[in-house]
Amino acid sequence: MKIISWNVNGIRAASQKGFLPFIEAATPDILCIQETKAHDHQLEDALLNIPGYSAYFHSGEKKGYSGTAVYYKTEPLAIRTGLSDPEFNNEGRTIIMEYPDFILYNVYFPNGQKDAERLAFKMDFNRCIQNDVQELLAAGKNVIVCGDINIAHREIDLKNPKENAKRSGFLPEERAWVDDFLSIGMVDSWRVQHPEAIKYSWWSYRFNARANNAGWRIDSFFVSENFMSQVDSTDILDEVMGSDHCPIVLTLK
């Protein structure tokens, strides 16, 4: 089973930049999209009804902002949205799909760059999802959390760590949260399989960042430790254009 996660930075914009041909060529079993920036009623039929796929959208209350979606070939046992605390559920950030062997979270984690209040919201959101996942792990469930994490965990995960040490996305408290999240029994699947590799998943639109590969690895598949044995491969498709992020891939055995 191939699962792809991609922050498309606006699904309507991405549709003009090769989104549908990418799906046709990549043939994911599940495609998790973040930052759709649209409600489903605003989308053309070609985006709502991709041949071979069912679709589910979770849009935010604010139009043109945030939002997640999933396209899938196999019907899940259940599909739901949101975290346990309703405070975090009005921006369309989370879709949860339950399959026989695992529970998949498609998450657009908040960005904390706006101000201190937004950073606090981000950290509270992160702690809430950590608690939710920990409960599932305690119940013996296999969990996959994918999406735009909006945090580069270690210095190897961004081009210019020293210059960004005081920028949200690489703050000490954000990086410490990733440590906390991994400590509950989750692993960063790509880093497990590629311990020394340098590859990025997001580049600023400014300063020719992508052309210079001055990026950040802020998109991830976190997998419960016991389920990592079922992961065949992971990849970052940094050659795929269409957004300021590129798709990432998790293939299960």
| pLDDT digit string, tens, across residues 209-231 | 999 999 999 999 999 999 999 99
Q: What is the mean pLDDT of residues 2-25?
A: 98
pLDDT at 114: 83
User: With contact defined as beta carbons under 8 Å apart, do 223 and 146 qualify?
Assistant: no
User: With contact defined as beta carbons under 8 Å apart, do 219 and 7 qualify?
Assistant: yes
Q: How many CB atoms lie within 10 A of CB 153?
A: 22
User: What is the identity of the amino acid at 238?
Assistant: D
Tokens of 88: 């975090």
Q: Tokens 């695992």 appear where?
A: 102
Kindly report the length of the chain. Answer: 253
Q: How many CB atoms lie within 10 A of CB 238?
A: 19
For the chain, counts of helices (H) and of strands (E): 6, 14
Q: What percentage of residues in the chain have a pLDDT greater than 70?
A: 100
Q: Is the pLDDT of residue 113 over 90?
A: no
Cross-strand pairs, 222: 145, 188
User: With contact defined as beta carbons under 8 Å apart, do 237 and 248 qualify?
Assistant: yes
- Of the pLDDT bands very low, low, confident and very high (cuts 50, 70, 90), residue 199 is very high
Cross-strand pairs, 56: 70
User: With contact defined as beta carbons under 8 Å apart, do 178 and 121 qualify?
Assistant: no
User: With contact defined as beta carbons under 8 Å apart, do 99 and 76 qualify?
Assistant: yes
Cα–Cα distances (Å) from 46 to 42, 59, 73, 241, in that order, read: 12, 18, 16, 20
Q: How many CB atoms lie within 10 A of CB 229?
A: 8
User: Mind listing the pLDDT tens digit for each residue in 31-79?
Assistant: 999 999 999 999 999 999 999 999 999 999 998 999 999 999 999 999 9
Helix ranges, the chain (H): 11-14, 19-26, 45-48, 116-138, 172-183, 189-193
pTM greater than 0.85: yes
Q: Is the pLDDT of residue 253 over 90?
A: yes
Tokens of 114: 């706006």
The DSSP call for residue 166 is: T
User: With contact defined as beta carbons under 8 Å apart, do 45 and 52 qualify?
Assistant: no
What domains does the chain contain, in order, with CATH numbers? 2-252 (3.60.10.10)
Q: What is the mean pLDDT of residues 108-130?
A: 96
Catalytic residue among 40, 115, 132, 148: 148
To the query of whether residue 45 is one of the catalytic residues in this protein, the response is: no
User: Mind listing the pLDDT tens digit for each residue in 78-109?
Assistant: 999 999 999 999 999 999 999 999 999 999 99
